[in-house]
């Protein structure tokens, strides 16, 4: 389907917007009036610029407060419209969006409204222009899409149709199934926006918090399906008012918009996601030296070396970590995902415009497909063959573990989740990436206090139930703090018996454990019957309706720390309630 | 009155919070539980730290979801309470805030609720602790302050009273006059917060958008007056949850909170503001050279020189500008205000904790009282004598004006307003400063699109009607753009006849005029019957219910530009509707 986007959805001057939109592969644009008014180029030059970029001008918008007015005001409104028609001729735009009147002057009279819309359509027809009439969610008398359609039907003019906007329909909780009652050829335009569920005035919600389909809570694809069932054959057009997009780089926002439409089309086509990850193959950490000691203390053993790269494989149970000593400070740089079909997964990522990473490799090495996530983390799609890339490790120090445990055996059983901190302008891009490219399901965002700001956190998962090994869990964090971004990332490993691990760590490496305030345990013990040993071991506790959660943190090395977690019963969370404790202690460590 | 503040209101670790709060001069604190839980110090040390700083611990808060529950839950809740009582003994806190139950387990039964509150009070009494019960605006059954009081009255225990919170009362639109029905000695605590009027879920509103009294739209002083009339004699306590305060420097936030309480007390005492400015004496601009040419082009003449400082006086009509060539790039550095009593104004500013600036001056110079505004701009309180500081200027170039006009005469008649850009963490501080220190009345905030973000703009004024000379107008801007702050400031001068001034500028100095896109005029002419000459002169147009507004902008020099404005009739605005045009053209000039 043809894909377009309103210029208001991205930042910059009109010229910059058009260039970014064309570069992202859109077929056309809606010119948002304010973007034109502030542009120094005359309409003819804007038209030429768009044409040079291969962009059609599919819509000019919005024309406000036209219909259902007293006769004298109608005259003035028609004069306004004539000006706009002449402008649109210069611009080469054939479709004008008229949104329902919000003025106190508007009269609640459908006959009057329809008659005036018909008059407008007649005038438009003289210029070869068509009118798409839309119900704003906060329109004075017309605020339901079926009401707008009733007026269009009543006016009955070939140059008058309706415009449907997913935000205006879904924000009011209207059932979009009614779209199927509208003849497809009378749906002149379809504007798409998603939004997080927010309990606020719909006008403010619309103007500041819209986002691209797949980034919010609305079923935008379901709405589009109704439009297609009705016979709609026009473009899918993004129209997003978002405070963050206004401040972000236009190129990235436009590309992300295109990704959202491609994902939506795949969804509509009923394409099953080709490669939802079934587990973590590995997490790769840049290291200048200190991480080996931490891993040893946690009971990991070095079990392999890459023959050509400065990369070591460390293992314990099903948890595999790579230490990459190419010189960067400790940070999480790559994630390997167990993929049922790595080739299909990479190809799918490529259809969704993810940057595919070139892999330097020796002939005999396993081919690893990889893409870059929005924050630059490399995502590898792996089958079992990747382990063959590693030679058995040479002589290593004995791992610090009890007798009788095998080299890669131990209380740690696998990677439970990884948590990545996102740059704040691109949190929505990350949500869409993990959802569409990896097929993870987002959970609700939570906001957590940090001593110097707030942390927004959203878990994404492909896990059914609470086990490991049948999917992956990731946590996206967004730190909004005064001084600077909080860059911490972490790898959480699952334990069979966290108390035993913690006892050993407390005995042999107390310096690696993040100290937890006694006040936390005083409060915990007031709320719960918990083992008093949790306090002495620095283990945190949470519970939900499904089970219990025990976890502890190591100190931070570079940007990275480790979390040890034990899920008991069907606990489904991530211990978010305890994150403020961790953040405060980590900040105290900044001093 | 005793002044306290909840630790949640400022950023940092608990220790940093206490230090900032003590430095601002508060008498005590409410310890917010989460701040204690994340603190590594045991309660005894927190108590000692507070005592060392001269702070009492007036309240511990909050204790949640206690009352009106089934018997088994009551037992657990009493166990929780006993833990908290022991903690409070260690902390040396004698008053516990209990907020109304929000849990679905709560039962809507006043007798049950009161009985359980009485039980809690009995237990508390054994520890010498008192309970302040508060209605949360979103409490499940108890959400009105008079309902909370009814339960306290019914429970009838000396250790049980009520806590009033201005946010919870005023956000619901409840009439605070009912406070006078509560015996003063049963009001155990009074929490104060203001808030901007926002149409959103009250819980989100409360958790993210509270602010200090005087920064929002609530009549907090009116509510306090009712509490005083009731006989309340406890502290005035600030309790503010604010996303920006969480990220700002604790010292500044605490000081600003103290300023808000002092201003509130002055308000309660019925103190008339001693020195509302009656006009602009001058605006002072740092200059490295280029501004003299701009002022000459605008028809200003250099009429004076300071005998000892590198400062020139430039005049036209009642508009006086100082150019200060001490080396800084062009920027607005000071504002002189005509003050009926400069000494009283400075003293008033000092009572409100404004930093009074030391003035180096020669013996014969007028004494100028000055304070620093939150963004560092110097604010001078002037009587007519300041002009005597300047010697008549030496030989100057003839100002570029028509024959027959006197040196300091011309079409410009005075300063209409000045606009300052605020650092985003301290916009609320600026609002409170201009309101309390200068006695200006705030107008509603507006949000305006910028090509790379949004501009928040709030006008503050002491003008009655639309004239100049009987007050001052200021505009505070807050730029939230992606790349960097927009640092632009401007001085708007009032013209008798802007068209004549613009014609001359267009003829002689077209390079100084900000070019306005033709598309703007196409749209303007569609909406209004306006003189077609506006287009050729680059004059922008607005109207409101009271009159019309013509204005134009110069290009920016350093951080500064000039606006020429003509108010026709009783126009009361600032042409905000045209600001997006200006911002886009200014950004285009960045290239």
Q: What is the DSSP annotation of B364-395?
A: TSPP-EEEE-TTS-EEEEE-GGGGGGSEEP-S
Distance from CA of A164 to the nearest CA of B (A): 25
Cα–Cα distance for residue pair A431/A194, rounded to 1 Å: 13
Mean pLDDT per 10-residue segment, chain A (591 residues): 98 97 98 97 98 98 97 96 97 98 96 98 98 97 98 98 98 97 98 94 94 96 98 98 93 97 96 88 95 96 94 95 92 95 93 86 73 94 90 62 48 95 89 95 92 92 70 90 74 96 96 97 94 96 96 95 96 95 85 47
What is the distance between the terminal CA atoms of chain A, rounded to a whole angstrom?
55
**Chains A–B, number of C-beta pairs less than 8 Å apart:** 151
Subunit contact B40:A585, Cβ cutoff 8 A: yes
Whether residue B540 contacts residue B520, with contact meaning beta carbons closer than 8 Å, is answered with yes
| Mean pLDDT for the stretch of residues B301-308 | 94
Q: Which tokens sit at A295?
A: 């891993």
Task: Find the range with the poorest average confidence among A18-32, B55-69, B232-246, B455-469.
Answer: B455-469
User: 3-state class of B299 per DSSP?
Assistant: coil
> Which range among B49-53, B174-178, B408-412 shows the weakest confidence by mean pLDDT?
B408-412
Provide the pLDDT confidence category of residue B256 given band limits of 50, 70 and 90.
very high
Buried b (16+ CB within 10 A) or exposed e, B466-498: bebeebbbbbbbbbbbbeeebebbbbbbbbeeb
List, for residues B470-480, the tens digit of each pLDDT value: 789 999 998 77
Under DSSP, the state recorded for B436 is I
The two structure tokens encoding residue A539:
């283990």
The distance of A497 to chain B (nearest Cα, Å) reads 26
pLDDT score of B484 more than 90: no
Q: Is B366 left (phi over 0), alpha (psi -120 to 50) or beta?
A: beta
Min Cα–Cα distance to chain A from B446, Å: 13
Give B578's DSSP letter: G
Residue pair B117/B156 in contact by the 8 Å Cβ criterion: no
Please check the confidence at residue B405 and state whether its pLDDT lies above 50.
no
The tokens describing A563, both together, are: 């979390």
Residue of B nearest to A78 (CA): B526
Q: What does the buried/exposed string (b/e) look like for A450-459 if buried means 16 or more CB atoms within 10 Å of the residue's CB?
A: bbbbbbbbbb
Q: Which residues of A are annotated as a binding site for a divalent metal cation?
A: 134, 165, 191, 239
pLDDT the model gives residue B487: 80
Centre a 10 Å sphere on the Cβ of residue B125 and count the other Cβ atoms it contains: 16
Task: Report the distance separating Cα B358 and Cα B335, nearest Å.
Answer: 16
Report the distance separating Cα B323 and Cα B396, nearest Å: 14
pLDDT, position B336: 96
Can you tell me the distance from the alpha carbon of B575 to that of B547, in angstroms, rounded to the nearest whole number? 12
Closest by CA position to B401, among listed B503, B281, B289, B288: B503
Contacts A451 to B, Cβ<8 Å: 11-13, 16, 38
Cβ-nearest to A243 among B11, B451, B454:
B454
Q: Are strands B391-392 and B301-305 parallel, antiparallel or unpaired?
A: antiparallel
Q: Which residues 471-500 of B are in CB contact (within 8 Å) with A?
A: 480-482
User: Who among A39, A204, A518 is closest to B517 (CB)?
Assistant: A39
Element (H, E) at A191: strand A187-192
End-to-end CA distance of chain B: 56
Q: Regarding beta strands A95-99 and A130-134, do their DSSP bridges make them parallel or antiparallel, or are they unpaired?
A: parallel
CB-CB neighbors (< 8 A) of B13 in chain A: 451, 584, 587-588
What Rg do the C-alpha atoms of chain B give, in angstroms?
A: 28
Whole-number pLDDT of residue B590: 57
Which pLDDT band holds residue B566 (cuts at 50, 70, 90)?
A: very high
Task: Give the tens place of pLDDT for each residue, B137-167.
Answer: 999 999 999 999 999 999 999 999 999 999 9
By Cβ distance, the residue of A37, A247, A522 closest to B87 is A522
For residues A577 and A569, what is the distance between their CA atoms, to the nearest angstrom? 18
Indicate the helix (H) or strand (E) that contains A314: strand A311-316
Identity of the residue in A13, A83, A450 whose CB atom sits nearest the CB atom of B526? A83
Q: For residue B401, is pLDDT > 50?
A: no
Q: Does domain A279-588 have CATH number 3.40.50.300?
A: no
> Collapsing DSSP states into helix, strand and coil, what is residue A563?
strand
Instruction: Say which residues have a Cβ less than 8 Å from residue B258's Cβ, sequence separation at least 6.
Output: B3, B24, B25, B26, B353
Kindly determine whether residue A11 and residue B200, on different chains, have CB atoms separated by under 8 Å: no
CATH code 3.10.180.10 region(s) in chain A = 279-588
Q: Name the nearest CA neighbour of B372 among B307, B313, B437.
A: B437
B201: contact with A, CB 8 A cutoff: yes
Average pLDDT of the segment spanning B84-113: 97
Residue A584 distance to chain B (closest CA, Å): 6
Structure tokens at A336: 């390997």
The span from the CA of A355 to the CA of A371, in Å, is 5
Helix (H) or strand (E) holding A173: none
Tell me what the mean pLDDT of segment B265-292 comes to: 92
Contact B290, B561 (CB under 8 A): no
List of chain B residues whose C-beta atoms are within 8 Å of the C-beta of residue A42: 518-519
pLDDT of residue B406: 40
Identity of the residue in A204, A527, A588 whose CB atom sits nearest the CB atom of B13: A588
Tokens linked to B519: 């598309």
Helix (H) or strand (E) holding A84, with range, is helix A71-91
Q: Which residue of A has its CA nearest to B91?
A: A519
Please choose, from the candidates A289, A359, A366, the residue with its C-alpha nearest in 3D space to the C-alpha of residue A324. A289
Interface probe for B, chosen from A41, A519, A577 (most Cβ of B below 10 Å), is A519
Nearest Cα neighbor of B191 from B262, B149, B134, B137 is B134
Contact B340, B346 (CB under 8 A): no
Mutate to test the interface with B, among A584, A585, A587, A589 (most CBs of B within 10 A): A584
Tokens representing B179 are 């406070």
Bind-site residues of A: 134, 165, 191, 239, 417, 490, 563
| pLDDT digits 0-9 by tens, B339-364 | 999 999 999 999 999 998 887 666 66
Q: What pLDDT is recorded for position A408? A: 53
- Residues in a beta bridge with B157: none
Q: What is the pLDDT of residue A466?
A: 54
Select from A482, A527, A584 the Cβ nearest to the Cβ of B38: A584
Residues 6+ apart with CB under 8 A from B239: B5, B6, B8, B9, B30, B165, B167, B191, B192, B193, B210
Task: For residue A557, list its beta bridge partners.
Answer: A560
Work out the average pLDDT over B172-191.
Answer: 97
Q: What is the ipTM of this complex?
A: 0.91
Contacts of residue A199 in chain B, CB cutoff 8 Å?
200-201, 204
Domain A3-268 is in which class? alpha beta
Q: How confident is the model at residue B467 (pLDDT cuts 50, 70, 90)?
A: low
Residue B564 burial by CB count (10 A; 0-12/13-18/19+): exposed, middle or buried?
buried
Give the integer Cα–Cα distance in Å for B301 and B317: 10
Q: What distance in Å separates the CA atoms of residue B173 and residue A307, rounded to the nearest whole number?
A: 72
Q: Is B456 on the interface with A (CB under 8 A)?
A: no
Which residues of B fall within a CB distance of 8 Å from A34?
449, 580
Q: Is the pLDDT at B372 greater than 90, yes or no? A: yes
Nearest Cα neighbor of B442 from B459, B417, B463 is: B459
Q: Does A11 touch chain B (CB under 8 A)?
A: yes
pLDDT score, position B556: 94
DSSP string, A462-494: --SSS-SSSS-EEEEEEEEESSS----EEEEEE
* Residue A533 bridge partners (DSSP): none
| pLDDT at residue A401, as a whole number | 42
- Rounded Cα–Cα distance for residues B382 and B384 (Å): 7
Give kind and range of the element (H or E) at residue B489.
strand B489-495
Which of B:378-407 have CB within 8 Å of A? none
Say if CB B300 and CB B414 are below 8 A apart.
Answer: no
Distance CA A419, CA A475 (A): 4
Spell out which residues of chain A touch residue B585, defining contact as CB-CB under 8 Å: 38, 40
Q: B162, B186 in Cβ contact below 8 A?
A: yes
For B63-120, give the DSSP string. E-S-SS--HHHHHHHHHHHHHHHHHHHHHT--EEEEEPP-STT----HHHHHHHHHHH
> With an 8 Å Cβ cutoff, is B37 touching chain A?
yes
Q: How far is B45 from chain A (nearest CA, A)?
A: 12
Which residue ranges does chain A devote to CATH 3.20.20.150? 3-268
């Amino acid at each position: 389907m043809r894909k377009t986007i309103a210029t208001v959805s991205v930042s910059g001057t009109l010229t910059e917007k058009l260039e970014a939109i064309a570069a992202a592969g859109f077929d056309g644009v809606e010119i948002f009036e304010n973007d034109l008014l502030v542009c120094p180029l005359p309409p003819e030059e804007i038209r030429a610029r768009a044409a040079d970029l291969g962009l059609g001008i599919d819509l000019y918008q919005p024309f406000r407060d036209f219909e259902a007015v007293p006769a004298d005001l109608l005259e003035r409104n028609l004069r306004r419209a004539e000006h706009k028609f002449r402008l649109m001729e210069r611009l080469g735009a054939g479709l004008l969006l008229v949104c329902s009147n919000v003025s106190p002057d508007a009269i609640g009279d459908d006959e009057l409204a329809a008659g005036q819309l018909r008059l407008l359509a007649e005038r438009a027809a003289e210029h070869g222009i068509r009118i798409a009439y839309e119900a704003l969610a906060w329109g004075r008398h017309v605020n339901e899409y079926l009401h707008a359609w009733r007026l269009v039907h009543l006016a009955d003019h070939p140059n008058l149709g309706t415009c449907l906007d997913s935000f205006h329909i879904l924000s009011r909780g209207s059932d979009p199934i009614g779209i199927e009652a509208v003849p497809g050829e009378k749906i002149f335009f379809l504007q798409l926006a998603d939004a997080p569920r927010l309990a606020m005035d719909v006008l403010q919600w619309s103007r500041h918090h819209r986002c691209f389909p797949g980034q919010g809570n609305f079923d935008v694809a379901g709405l589009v399906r109704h439009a297609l069932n009705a016979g709609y054959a026009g473009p899918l057009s993004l129209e997003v008012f978002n405070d963050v997009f206004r401040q972000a780089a236009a190129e990235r926002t436009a590309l992300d918009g295109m990704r959202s439409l491609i994902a939506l089309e795949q969804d509509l086509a009923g394409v099953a996601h080709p490669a939802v990850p079934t587990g973590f193959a590995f997490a790769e950490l840049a290291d200048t030296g200190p991480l080996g000691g931490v891993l040893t203390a946690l009971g990991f053993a070095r079990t392999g070396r890459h023959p050509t790269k400065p990369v070591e494989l460390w293992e314990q149970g099903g948890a595999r970590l790579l230490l990459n000593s190419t010189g960067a400070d400790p940070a999480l740089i790559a994630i390997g995902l167990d993929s049922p079909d790595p080739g299909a997964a990479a190809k799918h990522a490529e259809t969704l415009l993810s940057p595919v990473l070139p892999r330097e490799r020796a002939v005999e090495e396993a081919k690893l497909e990889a893409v870059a996530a929005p924050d630059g983390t490399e995502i590898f799609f792996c089958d079992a063959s990747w382990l063959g890339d590693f030679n058995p490790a040479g002589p290593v120090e004995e791992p610090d573990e009890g007798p009788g445990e095998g080299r890669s055996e131990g209380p740690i059983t696998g990677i439970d989740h990884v948590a990545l901190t996102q740059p704040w302008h691109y949190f929505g891009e990350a949500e869409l990436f993990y959802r569409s490219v990896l097929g993870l399901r987002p959970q609700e965002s939570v906001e957590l206090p940090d001593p110097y700001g707030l942390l927004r956190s959203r878990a994404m998962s492909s896990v059914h139930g609470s086990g490991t090994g049948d999917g992956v869990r990731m946590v996206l964090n967004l730190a909004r703090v005064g001084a600077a971004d909080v860059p911490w990332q972490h790898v959480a490993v699952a334990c069979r018996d966290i108390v035993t691990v913690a006892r050993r760590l407390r005995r042999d490496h107390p310096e690696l454990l993040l100290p937890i305030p006694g006040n936390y345990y005083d409060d915990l013990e007031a709320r719960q019957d918990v083992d008093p040993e949790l306090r002495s071991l620095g283990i945190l506790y949470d519970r939900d309706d499904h089970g219990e959660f025990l976890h502890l943190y190591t100190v931070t090395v570079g940007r990275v720390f480790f979390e040890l977690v034990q899920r008991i019963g069907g606990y489904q969370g991530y211990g978010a309630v305890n994150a403020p404790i961790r953040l405060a202690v980590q900040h105290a460590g900044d001093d």
